[in-house]
Amino acid sequence: MPLMRCNSSGELYPLTPRPSTQSTTPSTFVALSNNLWHDRLGHPGASILNSLHQNKFIVCNKFQNNFVCQSCQFGKQVKLPFYESLSHTLFPFDIVHSDLWTSPTLSSGGHRYYILFLDDFTNFLWTFPIANKSQAYSIFLKFHNHIKTQFERDIKCFQCDNGKEYDNTSFHKFCEQNGMSFRFSCPHTSPQNGKAERKIRTINNIIRTLLVHASLPPSFWHHALQMATYLLNILPNKKLALQTPTTILYQKLPSYSHLKVFGCLCFPLIPSTTRNKLQPRSKPCVFLGYPSNHRGYKCLDLSNHKIFISRHVIFDENVFPFSNSHTPESSCYEFLNTSDEPFPYHTFPTLTTHQPITLPPTSISPQPTIIHHPNNSASHHLLASPLNTSPTPHQTPINNINPTNSQPTPPSNTPSPNTIPTPHDPLVNPPLSPQMTTRAQHGIFKPRQLFNLHTSTSPVISPLPTNPINALQDHNWKMAMKDEYDALIENKTWDLVPRPTNANVIRSLWIFRHKKKSDGSFERYKARLVGNGSNQQTGVDCGETFSPVVKPATIRTVLSIAISKSWCLHQLDVKNAFLHGNINETVYMHQPPGFRDPQHPDYVCLLKKSLYGLKQAPRAWYQRFAEFVATLGFSHSVCDHSLFIYHYGNDTAYILLYVDDIILTASSDTLRQSIMSKLNSEFAMKDLGPLSYFLGISVIRHSGGIFLSQHKYAEEIIERAAMSSCKPVSTPVDTKAKLSGISGNPYHDPSEYRSLAGALQYLTFTRPDIAYAVQQVCLFMHDPRTQHMTALKRIIRYLKGTITHGLHISPSLVDTLTTYTDADWGGCPDTRRSTSGYCVYLGDNLVSWSAKRQPTLSRSSAEAEYRGVANVVAESCWLRNLLLELQCPVTKATIVYCDNVSAVYLSGNPIQHQRTKHIEMDIHFVREKVAKGQVRVLHVPSRYQIADIFTKGLPLQLFDDFRDSLNIR
């Protein structure tokens, strides 16, 4: 095609414009493509290029509208616009949206995050505060099981972002196994998970509002989270045609009559078991929401900052206690701010040379250091139902409402005050460089973490797992669980049967612990399957549950006899002892977690033998063991049913049974070996060798006898009380008057007091020197005061200085019983009751002692002392009968030493006095034993009355002398 025609006047062809082309428009003699003009003009948009072409500013012979410029993609590419979602669901749980929000402020419960699950159809919401992102999978499993159990539906599709708390092997494997569709948003494209993101914004707005209105500190955000979740589920929703999520999901209308203002002042009723009659019946508290599993209210005690649940609460909804101690500032709640990224539409304004650029607000969210808090479990339960309704899961929800994903309006392009002009504007100065923002400016401080850089060549011990799922992921715990399960199967503990209708089926649980040696070092991993006996019903799947256990005095008596006769003490352990017991009741149990039969996953276990955790398990095991040893010639003691005695000719053997721990001693090694082989043939026994560690008591044998010590247990008590660096004292109790139950202020943590006092009680097994001090602090467990805690701490300080002390048992004659008894007349300042104490020696060894407050009031010191004499005579009679059964009869009279002359005379005077009529029973009891020659009551000076250590505080010198007399060294 010819481009131009012209005449030649020589060798050249002159070009002259035609008259019609005379204008200001430049002439183009070569045709160009729009690609080249796009490059020449600085890569403008297609609309600008089209405008120049249509107005004939440029001429193109080829104009391509759909060409792609790589330089534009590298230099100007932006996010594509989001469009309104057209998908909708027809039934609940067809799509469940989820997201995880990170809080830079650690909650008072130790939570750093919360995870939400949102049902697309009903808009019903579940939230769970968690401490670590790794908990997301376990929380999802609980949520999935809850949906499957309560609503009989499966989650068809799970929508979440691309976070690694979701995108991991565990989640993918679970979805594949359950046929669940797993949908992720693209990386760094959170608007694709916009429904969950917008719900987080709504939740945080409510949390912020609740905290500000109640002037609560930011660390209470997890309580406000539970409240916000609860309220959102019962509030009408515009996307549901102003119906509530609760109505759609449960097809029941929620109630609003129980609602109270979050954070207001409340007055719960204090239970009568935790107060006396003169104490106030209520105390000021702060209302923190509604508990998930109770029909009541959560109340924060302002005095000790503890939360308790009560139904009987009076509210003052106009008073907010934290407003006096905490002034809220806007910066305190900045951590609840969310970015604008979840908006579904993103518009990018066209920038001109005179238009200012709107800068989005910058939210600095430094990654916080995760702090492992003791209470870091997901405390929120799966469903927060209205208080005075009990919604029943319904399989067929209302289907006439199909809410779709709503899209908010796009953000406006109107310049805000937070704008700066562009640097292309010649009338303004260039913008300043951005100022660095630090954590301290926002009130964010990372806690100091101290790391232990000590290296060890010993193998790393796997920590205790929190649930069976975590245990199965650890090789050590998995093998321990497998061993336990194999033992149960080998023992034929149950049969798998279809679940009967209307049958009580108990849960099965895994219990994990580290078995330790006597020196506290690690021995092995122990996993035990137990049944949840708390769900058993008396008369249905359990009957009589009492089972005897051996008495401490019996253990010390047998040990004393064995040492005196140079018999060998052997220790045995029964593997899965309770599994050997036969049960007569019909008990059904769920299959063990992690070991469900793949062919019959819905079957239940019909127990044929006893199992740990059942109410009748100890009794069944005891009966099974007693029946078998009876076939070997053993008979149980009448004085102590957990003591079994064998006597034939010159052969004698004793068996002490304490649940599954056995002490065996025999007069010859041949007899002992024979008994052990017969026991091993019937039960799965483990020979632990010579007695070294029994019931937490270290047994050390030496040339002078044996030494019983609980030093490891005492160390644990000291650590539990956080007194490892305390200053020791020489005596466990001072010489002042006894403690009163009504003086002083109440102790702020009664649970801690009760825990330590109970632990000290077991320590008296080998430490009679603290028996009186422990008895005194245990009198006030119902209402501990500050002075009582001071007395308890003195005991711990005494243990700190005498932690290596213990009870010595040495070879001695076993044909005499010697006792000491004393009473502190009217020593109790509140009731004026007396405290009596005694100690009993078998030969030279201490085998029994007691420090106890008398149940009745004594009108004279002689009466109080005589009641003490009667108590020790009763104990000595029991010991004489026990020794008679042990083939070690006591032929001599029991010597009773008493420092009260009147009590000594009353025991032998056959004349009844008028003043002693009210203690006639004790008079006749002691006199009868004296008349038969079984008891002799003698006077001893107070300086040598050893029993004084069980009735009162003593000076240091006297205390040390009496402690040595008790064989405590």
* 408: in domain: no
Which of 663, 680, 695 is the C-terminal boundary of a domain? 695
Q: What is residue 861's predicted lDDT score, i.e. its pLDDT?
A: 85
Burial group, residue 340, by CB count within 10 angstroms (0-12, 13-18, 19+): exposed
> Per-10-residue mean pLDDT for the chain, 969 residues long?
60 59 47 75 82 80 72 80 73 90 86 92 92 90 91 89 85 89 80 82 90 90 92 89 90 90 92 80 92 90 86 92 72 59 37 36 38 40 40 40 41 39 40 57 60 58 89 92 88 88 87 82 88 76 72 94 93 76 83 90 88 81 88 92 92 90 92 92 86 89 91 93 92 88 89 93 94 93 92 95 94 93 89 93 95 87 88 93 93 93 79 54 78 90 92 92 93
| 285 and 230 housed in the same domain | no
Contact call for residues 662 and 572 (beta carbons, < 8 A): yes
Contact call for residues 675 and 654 (beta carbons, < 8 A): no
Contact call for residues 530 and 576 (beta carbons, < 8 A): no
Q: What is residue 146's predicted lDDT score, i.e. its pLDDT?
A: 92
Return the closest-CA partner of residue 553 out of 962, 769, 849, 897.
Answer: 849
Q: Name the residue range of residue 793's domain.
A: 737-965
| 488 and 589 housed in the same domain | yes
| 953 and 823 housed in the same domain | yes
Q: What is residue 20's predicted lDDT score, i.e. its pLDDT?
A: 47
| Secondary structure, 3-state, 353-381 | CCCCEECCCCCCCCCCCCCCCCCCCCCCC
Collapsing DSSP to helix, strand or coil, 519 comes out as coil
CATH number for the domain harbouring residue 165: 3.30.420.10
Residue for token digits 């000021």?
284
- Which tokens belong to 801? 């200085």
Crossing angle of the two packed helices 861-885 and 552-564, in degrees rounded to 10: 60
* 348: in domain: no
| 249 and 269 housed in the same domain | no
The enclosing H or E element of 712 equals helix 711-720
According to DSSP, residue 695 is labeled T
| 838 and 769 housed in the same domain | yes
Collapsing DSSP to helix, strand or coil, 544 comes out as coil
Which of 630, 661, 695 is the C-terminal boundary of a domain? 695
* 379: in domain: no
Return the closest-CA partner of residue 643 out of 630, 653, 657.
Answer: 657
Q: What is residue 884's predicted lDDT score, i.e. its pLDDT?
A: 94
What is d(CA 139, CA 152) in angstroms, rounded to the nearest whole number?
19
* 443: in domain: no
Which of 223, 241, 256 is the C-terminal boundary of a domain? 256
What is d(CA 85, CA 496) in angstroms, rounded to the nearest whole number?
49
Q: 361-401: per-residue pLDDT in tens?
A: 433 333 333 333 434 444 444 444 333 333 433 433 444 44
Q: Which residues pair with 286 in a beta bridge?
A: 265, 300
* 894: in domain: yes
What is d(CA 577, CA 611) in angstroms, rounded to the nearest whole number?
9
| 40 and 165 housed in the same domain | no
What is d(CA 643, CA 49) in angstroms, rounded to the nearest whole number?
104
* 196: in domain: yes
Contact call for residues 676 and 688 (beta carbons, < 8 A): no
| 191 and 165 housed in the same domain | yes
* 366: in domain: no
| 241 and 284 housed in the same domain | no
The enclosing H or E element of 625 equals helix 617-631
Q: 835-867: per-residue pLDDT in tens?
A: 999 999 999 999 999 999 988 888 888 888 888
What is d(CA 866, CA 906) in angstroms, rounded to the nearest whole number?
8
The enclosing H or E element of 622 equals helix 617-631
Return the closest-CA partner of residue 92 out of 120, 52, 55, 56.
Answer: 120
If you write DSSP's letter for every residue of 554-584 in order, what string do you get? Answer: HHHHHHHHHHHTTPEEEEEEETTGGGG-B--
- Rounded to a whole number of angstroms, the distance between the first and last alpha carbons of the chain is 123
| 782 and 886 housed in the same domain | yes
| 556 and 600 housed in the same domain | yes
What is d(CA 630, CA 766) in angstroms, rounded to the nearest whole number?
32
| 658 and 776 housed in the same domain | no
Collapsing DSSP to helix, strand or coil, 906 comes out as helix
| 94 and 46 housed in the same domain | no
Contact call for residues 819 and 863 (beta carbons, < 8 A): no
* 220: in domain: yes
The enclosing H or E element of 157 equals strand 157-160
Work out how many domains the chain is built from and give that number. 5
Q: What is residue 913's predicted lDDT score, i.e. its pLDDT?
A: 54
- The backbone torsions φ and ψ at residue 222, rounded to the nearest 5 degrees and listed phi first, read -70, -30
